[in-house]
A and B are shown apart, each in its own frame.
Chain A
Amino acid sequence: MTAVGTEGAAVALDIHARTSTRRKVIDAFFKLFLWISLGIALGTLITILIDLITEGWPRLNPALITNMPSARPERAGIQSAIFGSLWVVGTTAAISIPTGVGAAIYLEEFAKRDRWYNRLIELNIQNLASVPSVVYGILGLAFIARGFLSLGFTVLTAALILTLVVLPTVVIASREALRAVPNSLRYGSLALGATEWETVYRQVLPAAVPGIATGTILSTSRALGESAPLLLVGALTFVTFNPDGFDSPYTVLPLAIFRFISEARIEFRPLAAAASVVLLFLLMGMNSLAIYVRSRYEKKLR
């Protein structure tokens, strides 16, 4: 690799020897290309936001949030979907964060790297992170909704499936946070006679909590926008009540949007856009929470 680098530099020198105006032109075009890339990427984001807001504008009012889904577009809202999403994502977080952080502590603080089973776990988590989410939907259909657990098409089923979806990223994010804790802290604690566990519990975890919080918030926010695996377990349903338990029927915001898109009447289209704005708003809320936690943490360090 290093060899390639020097070789490249040599080429650069070679070009320099020939024409410098040509270089300047190429440099300028290259910079233009970079600008255009950045412009398109950010422009697309802005276009999406503008498109959603302008299309959804007529329906962006309190009634959208307070009304239940309805067959009559003028009355339809997304209250049950918002509550459904809160239930499902809340449950997902409640299961995936302790499990994920626990697994991360094991891998980062306790596990011996050279053991084959620890390497297997590590490799496996990386693999799970790249499994398409719809595959988790199949697993959920076969094992959770029906089959082994037979929980039916309920809040808990959805939460378990989404737990599987986000767990690998929760583990990965928590490990990164743990890794960022300086080793001196560990050595100091161990030197004072604390056990490994006490070191983790009293020193490492408190230092890593902001990082873990940021990482896990970002990972579970993925569950909020996820639609594909839930398509397979009956979340695409007309539900006009809020969930009242883990065994309750439910719908979630992304699938309420999917439903609005699938509705034949064109009057539902602004609703799809408006509901998307609400969903993005919730997601950005979670993101800014994560950013807030991170920035507080950074200030503390300084």
Chain B
Amino acid sequence: MLAFVVLAACGGNGAGGSDGGSGGLEGTVIIDGSSTVTPLITVAAEDFQAVNPDVRVTVATSGTGGGFEKFCVGETDVSMASRPIAVDESATCQANGIEPVEFIVANDALSVIVNPDNDWVSCLTVEQLNTMWGPESEGEVNNWNLVDASFPDQNLELFGAGSDSGTFDFFTAEVNGEEGAIRTDYNPSEDDNVTLVGVEGDVGAVGFLGLSYVLENEGRIVPLAIDSGNGCIAPSAESVIDGSYVPLGRPLFVYFKAESLQRAEVEAFARFYADNQDTITETALFIPLSDEQASEQRAELDEITGG
């Protein structure tokens, strides 16, 4: 099914865009938010500007929470998010008269990664993950043999998303059972390269980041399969789309300011994404939308922009 989606994309429209490429558009689209979604949206921004050279699109990376902070005070037009907008965030938005319009832009398999020289583990259970990352492990679980007696005596170094990121919220909610609950003696970062370089450089390191980073860096780090009770499932496009990669499969979001969508250049950007999402997700190594998600997105866009 995935193959079909990708094929359809390649057949439909190549690198350029069919819609929104009318030219003559100008203006600025300011985007901020999740570092997980950033690689996807930078590809979209770049391709969009190739056909609309007079529209200026900026993409900053403040993390999902940081992005919403700016979004809800009106500093940005679009907010990238690796989790849905939180209740208090949407209250802030509302208080400032900003109406967020949610789009699912791609899917992701949040991947747990280890060093290629790590030869003792290829699959972890959710409980083991919790032992590694839970708040009660702080200062205690610093060795692999404390995670599981069968693991060797090897220092455990942890790398992961910082508290501003949706990946952090998602991971802590799924693995530790409560959003935001995590040991604090790991190396947090809003920039996933830190996780990557950290895990690449240390045999005993574990980190978590989006699947696209894993695919872009095959060989430097190795993703682990996750066992949530139904056997070990590796992170992949297939396992996310068929719903078997639990609990770490997730959709990724972009929020448009409804008011901004009334501006031609912002609407054009949204349409450009909808029309080219398969090319964009493929280029950025993200998991594309399912057909169902895609048609939902298109219908929503039509409804809001009245097109």
Contacts and interface: CB of A to CB of B under 8 A. Distances in A.
Interface string A224-262: 000000000010111111000000010000000000011
B167 to A, nearest CB: 13
B60 A264 contact: no
Nearest to B30: A249
B290 interface: no
Interface in A32-46: none
Interface residues of A, number: 19
A70 interface: yes
Nearest to B195: A264
Contacts of A71: 39, 42-43, 46, 283-284
Nearest to B284: A71
A237 B217 contact: no
Interface residues of A: mostly helix, strand, loop or mixed? loop
B59 interface: yes
B217 A266 contact: yes
A263 interface: yes
B192 A264 contact: yes
A265 B46 contact: no
A278 B284 CA distance: 28
Interface string B210-223: 00010011001000
Nearest to A251: B58
Contact of B43 (A72, A261, A262): A72
B45 interface: yes
Interface residues of B, number: 29
Contacts of B217: 264-266
A160 to B, nearest CB: 18
A90 interface: no
Nearest to B44: A71
A64 B134 CA distance: 45
A237 B28 CA distance: 14
Task: Tell me which of A72, A236, A238, A261 has the highest count of chain B C-beta atoms within 10 A of its own C-beta.
Answer: A238
Contacts of B283: 71-72
Given A264-B192, A264-B193, A266-B217, A249 B284 contact: no
A281 B61 CA distance: 29
Interface in B138-156: none
A104 B184 CA distance: 49
A152 B216 contact: no
A238 B41 CA distance: 10
B189 to A, nearest CB: 9
A240 B57 contact: yes
Contacts of B216: 264-265
A234 B30 CA distance: 12
Contacts of B284: 71
B124 to A, nearest CB: 22
Contacts of B46: 68, 70-72, 240
A262 B193 contact: yes
Nearest to B197: A264
B298 to A, nearest CB: 24
B6 to A, nearest CB: 18
Given A249-B58, A266-B217, A238 B191 contact: no
Contacts of A264: 39, 192-193, 196, 209, 213, 216-217
Interface of B: 28, 30, 38-39, 42-43, 45-46, 49, 56-62, 75, 191-194, 196, 209, 213, 216-217, 220, 283-284
30 contacts: A70-B46, A71-B42, A71-B43, A71-B283, A71-B284, A72-B43, A72-B46, A72-B283, A234-B60, A234-B62, A236-B60, A237-B59, A238-B38, A238-B42, A238-B58, A239-B58, A240-B46, A240-B57, A241-B49, A241-B56, A249-B30, A249-B56, A249-B58, A261-B193, A262-B194, A264-B192, A264-B196, A264-B213, A265-B216, A266-B220
Interface of A: 68, 70-72, 152, 234, 236-241, 249, 261-266
Top 5 closest pairs, chain A to chain B, by CB: A238-B59, A71-B42, A262-B191, A237-B60, A71-B43
